[in-house]
Structure formats: structure tokens, C-alpha cells
A and B are shown apart, each in its own frame.
Chain A
Amino acid sequence: MSYATTMLGRNFKHTLRNPVAVFNAVLFPIVLLLMFVYVIGGAFDIPGKYIDYATPGMIVLTICYGLSATALAVNSNMTKGIINRFKVMDISRSAVLSAHVAESMLRTVIAIAGLVGVALALGFRPAAGPLEWLGAIGFLVLVSFATTWLTVALGLFAKTPESAGMVSVPLVMLPFLSSAIVPAETMGPGVRQFAEYQPFTPIIETVRGLLAGEPSADSVIVAVIWCVGIALAGYVWSLSIFKKRA
């Protein structure tokens, strides 16, 4: 067993012992989906079925929503004593952080599977063929990987668990200000420009395109560049803070 898988086992036990967090991560996106599809979505003027428009956005929201738990876990791991023990052991420094990322991504995959299952039951009918599905899954894993590394950095950067909960709020909020729920063109001035240029719009458009079976090369390229950039920045920042915090 490698150090990272040992650590992953540890983090997974932590998560399972916090059933409220698991429940939250899986259930909240489903509640949100139901709310938008049945309560609010009827008022939106969107071509085609609203659930086909909203589900890709909800999938990305699910990824971001789970991040606050990750920030909290990373931070409390650093502020509790056991990290000092790991630091004086002959184990790879990044194993602790990689385990957080892997655990967070696993949790996200479970939450997305639950959400997509409910969406399919409610009439979500993506046009994607097997290849597009694979592309969508691969791309979602990349988004989750990138945003999680950035969250790990933010969790490390926060001084207390309370502020760790706060630092992940922008990441959780960004998808709301994107084309996740309604197209950017329908938004007011200012917000619209913001929605058009922030990373989550191309990310969501890529997921939407892939699931609709007609990915647009433009948004795919922009989204992948964003993700690689976010992942790199998060990874480098995380390791540098991790090394500094003794």
C-alpha cells in the first residue's frame, strides 16, 4: 500500500463518520435540482426542456458544493496535532494532500452519480453517445481535480476551521453567476460580462455541449485551459503553504 492510499483510507473513514456531511454533499444538489426544475424553472424562457438545460449546470454545482467540506477537512487536519507526526515520518509530503484530493473527488463522483440518476428519472434525456459520455466524465473529473487542488490550497491558507468554511464560498458561488441556471445573455449588464468571462461558463458549456452530443470546440479549449491553470496554481500553492506551515 502506498502512503497516499493509506491516507485515503484514513480520510474516507473520517467522511463516513460524519454522515451529515455525506448526506449534505449528495442530497443538497438533488434538492436544488428539484427546486429549479419544478419550482423556479417554469418561469425561465429556455429552448427545449429545462431539465436538459439545468442538469449539466447542476452537475458542476455539485462539484463546487462539495468543496467546502474539503476545505474544512484540510484545515482541521492542519490545525490538529497529528499532522506534526506525519511531518517527522519518512513519508511523502504530498501524500497527505493527495489523499484529501482523492477523497474529495470520490465523494463528488458519488454525489454526481446520485444527481444524474435523479435527473434521468425526472426526464433528463441527454443526446450524448458513448464517446461524448466518456468525454463528459473525463472532463468532470478534470474539473473536480482542478477545483479541489485550489480548495486544498485555500483550506491550508485559512488560519482557522471557521475561516476555512468562508474561503471556499467564492468557489461555491461562482457557478450561480455563470450559465449554469440561465444563459448568460439573459443577465443584466455587468453580471453578464462577468458570467461570460469567468471560468465556470465555459466549463458548464462544455459539459452541456458534451451531454447534448454537440460539444463546441471553443468552450472545450477555454475550459480545459482554465482547469489546467487552476489545477497547477492550486497544486503549487498548496505545496508551498504546506511546506511553510510547521
Chain B
Amino acid sequence: MTSSAITASGLRKAYKDKVVLDGIDLDIAAGTIFSLLGPNGAGKTTTVNVLTTLTKADGGTVRVAGHDVATETRAVRAAIGVTGQFAAVDELLTGQENLQLMADLKRLGSGEGKRVVTDLLERFDLTESARKMASTYSGGMRRKLDLAMTLVGRPRIIFLDEPTTGLDPRSRRTMWDIIRQLVAEGVTIFLTTQYLEEADRLADRIAVLDQGRLVAQGTPAELKRQIPGGHVRLRFAGELELDAAARILPDSTRDDEDLILRVPSDGGANSLRALLARLDELSIEVEEFSVHTPDLDDVFLALTGRTNTKVNA
């Protein structure tokens, strides 16, 4: 057992002449959360499919839990749990039956199976709906059941493909809490997401995927240092104030129509205090003041030179 849960080198995959993954290298330490960040069509799901033995790569090697995905497929499958983008639950079974099905397929004994099912229902707050058919569940409940099913049999490595896409903020937070708990128990998490915020909050390391290539890799802090996308947005009451402010803040970009000035900023308390102090010195009234942290668009703009949230692949 090495300390790497997942390693990949030179991973390639093409569908006909369309290159989806163009040489991906990964090294994910056991017991950490790794987040693969990218827009729709960047190749996130294809990466997950290759790592989870669903799709065969055209080139490169992948080891998951110490086993080669191409030659030791069964050993890999026994070690992993996968929750895909679309809830993989049996709609004609109840929540409890879905979990029991997993317990049976994982060959847990009947006593242990029952205990695991009861525990998971409780942990995911599904006990009340346990005897209802999954088809009657809300989107958030379905996702929870889906993840609960993945956890039956305690997989050491869990793949979560956009686990919070389409969830309301409360369900998203619940999902984040569950993910943190899992890592605290020593599980390795491979998480794909479209949201920088999500990767930022959860991940130990982030890799940014764009058109089948990793364009950046590092801790959230390292990554954000590469992104100059953060800025302060100032709105003024009139053109006079806008002109005055623009004169003392030469790096800023102005928007005359909406009377807005965007000032590049790291968002830190010191730089904000300095900025406000300068405006105050010259008695420039600011109507509205807001700090913008970089979002995925900023990341892509910075790393690829284009705003790129709609690449098809």
C-alpha cells in the first residue's frame, strides 16, 4: 500500500477523431480530497469513467488503490465507490430496499447488512422516508440516497461526479458536511465540480481541466494566487465622482454607463482599508462597494485566455 490512492500518467482518450483527454497526469494522496475543476465538456466525466473502469483509456497507465485499472479491474471495483452525475438509485424500490440491495451485492451478512442500512438511513436523515419508493424522493433526497448506497461496504476511494450540481444551497451544504466527515474517516475523495467555491472549500488539491488537458494543479491557495481575477467594484452617484476616483486609481477599468469602477484587488483587509482610506482622503462618495472573489470564469480567463464555460466535447 503506497500513500497514493490514485495515480495516472499520460492518460489519453479519444472518441473517433475527437480528443477528450490529452495526456492527463495525476497523483492523489490517500485520505485527501482532490477536486477536478472544469467547465461542461472539459473531460471531467470521461476522466472519472476511466478511473472507475467504466471506460478504457487509449493510452497511459492508471493505478487506483494500488491496482492497474486495465488489468486488475475487479480489484479496483472492489475498492472504490462511485456516485455519478445522475442519481443511480432504483426508483421502483424503497430507500431501505435500495440500501439492502447494495448490502446484499457487497455480500455483507444479513445481521451486518441490516445494521449498515439502519445506520446509513439515520446518518443521511432518510429514516422517515425509508419505506417510501425512491421515485417519490426529491432531488436532494435522491442524491443523499445515492451517496448512502455508494458508502455501503466502506469503499476506501470515492468518486463524486458533480455531486452538488442542481442542488439547493441547503442540500449542497449537507453534502459538503458529509464529504468532510468521510475524509475525516480516512476515505480518499475524487470530486469533480464546475464550482470554484466548492473546490476551494473542500479540496486539499485542485486540478483545472480544460479541453482534455490539465492547465493548472495545486492547493486552492496556490491556484488562486495565479488568478488575478479578484476585484473591488465601486459604484458612484455621478460622473464627477467616477472621474475623480479613476484618476487616483490608474489600474482600474471604468464603466461609464453604470458609473462603475473595477479595481483589481486581492480582497485582503489591508488593501481594502488602504483603498477606502484613499477615497476618503479625497472625499469621494462611494454609493456601493463590493468585493468580488474570482469565480470559474476568472480562472479560465486567467489560465486559458478565454472565458470558457461552454466548450463542447
Which residues of A pack against B, CB within 8 Å?
1, 3, 6, 9-10, 13-14, 17-18, 80-91, 246
Contacts and interface: CB of A to CB of B under 8 A. Distances in A.
B55 A246 contact: yes
Interface stretch (B90-98, B224-232, B237-245, B273-281): B90-98
Contacts of A80: 90-91
Contacts of A88: 52-54, 77, 80, 82
Interface of B: 49, 52-55, 74, 77-78, 80, 82, 84, 86-93, 97, 101, 104-106, 133, 149-150
A85 B105 CA distance: 11
Given A13-B97, A84-B84, A246-B49, A89 B105 contact: yes
Contacts of A87: 54
Contact of B105 (A13, A17, A84, A91): A91
A81 B54 contact: no
A80 B55 CA distance: 18
Nearest to B134: A82
Contacts of B82: 84-85, 88
Nearest to A95: B105
Contacts of B78: 90
Contacts of A9: 104
B88 A13 contact: no
A82 B150 CA distance: 11
Contact of A89 (B77, B86, B91, B93): B77
A85 B74 CA distance: 14
A10 B88 contact: no
A10 B101 contact: yes
A246 B92 contact: no
A118 B239 CA distance: 93
A6 B105 contact: yes
A29 to B, nearest CB: 25
B168 to A, nearest CB: 20
Nearest to A87: B54
B134 to A, nearest CB: 9
A90 B77 contact: yes
- Kindly list the 6 A-B residue pairs having the minimum CB-CB distance in the complex, ordered from nearest: A85-B88, A81-B88, A90-B77, A90-B78, A6-B104, A81-B86
A6 B92 contact: no
Contacts of A1: 104
B87 A81 contact: yes
A6 B103 CA distance: 10
Contacts of A3: 105
Contacts of B87: 81
Contacts of A86: 105
Among B77, B87, B88, max chain A CB count under 10 A is at B88
Contacts of B105: 3, 6, 86, 89, 91
22 contacts: A1-B104, A6-B101, A6-B105, A10-B90, A13-B93, A14-B93, A17-B92, A18-B92, A80-B91, A81-B84, A82-B90, A83-B88, A84-B54, A84-B88, A88-B53, A88-B54, A88-B77, A88-B82, A89-B77, A89-B106, A90-B74, A90-B78
